[in-house]
Amino acid sequence: MALLRLLAGSCLFLVALLAWSQPPQDVPALRERVTDLTGTLDPGQQAELTARLERLERETGSQLAVLLVPSTAPEDIAAYALRVVDAWQLGRQEVDDGVLLLVAKDDRRMRIEVGYGLEGAIPDARARQIIDTIMAPYFRSGDFAAGIMAGTDAIIALVRGEQLPAPTARRSQDGSDLEGLLPVILIVALVLGGLLRRSFGAFPGSVATGAITGALYIAKATSV
């Protein structure tokens, strides 16, 4: 009997030693609002979920990201979630209104990590309730996609119920928001160009039109 206890203790020690020596998993790069490393979601489900998260950010400013991994071992899910949110920097910096829904599928563990700005809307007890009473029943029946959708919808409803600063329009750094001004500049050039050419002649009118439309474009670009 003593020998069996000794062998059992030795096995547990070896398991703990192996877990301790295993390096932590890398945090995946944030390229999409939904990152599925398990192949659980089909393209249609992923697109639908992404659309919901895009709408939430557009209408409230808050960012919600979903991450599915096979396992977080050797870390527990809480420690891994903290590393993910630290790397991804979800939410607006001045509001800290980001949320991470993390699913470790093979571990059968879920975690909702909430930024400080949403702790009133989604306290730990409420996050646990979403996991236990909304997501887990779907997971137990094998319908992971439905569980993730339902959990996401519950989080979105809580975020929408919180009084957050209004989202601000984001300008594209590649200048794509200038594209909306190009038709206006074209119309101005056609109308104004005709008037100036009739008043001052073809060449002076063309030069004046170019100067005015160029000034409008530069003014818009400077404001961006």
pLDDT digits (tens, 9 = 90+) for 108-118: 999 999 999 99
187's tokens: 């119309």
Binning the chain into helix, strand and coil, the percentages to the nearest 5 are 60, 10, 30
Q: Is the pTM of this model over 0.75?
A: no
- Give the tens place of pLDDT for each residue, 69-88: 999 999 999 999 999 999 99
Which pLDDT value is given to residue 16?
Answer: 45
Query: Burial level of 148, CB count in 10 A (0-12/13-18/19+)?
Result: buried
Percent above pLDDT 70 for the chain: 66
- Cis peptide, bond prior to residue 74, ω within 30 of zero: yes
Which pLDDT value is given to residue 167?
Answer: 86
Cα separation of 108 and 110, whole Å? 7
Residue 130, pLDDT > 80, answer yes
Which residues are paired to 113 by β-bridges? 100
Which pLDDT value is given to residue 18?
Answer: 43
- pLDDT averaged over every residue in the chain: 81
Which pLDDT band holds residue 44 (cuts at 50, 70, 90)? very high
Residue 187, pLDDT > 80, answer no
Provide mean pLDDT across the span 140-156.
98
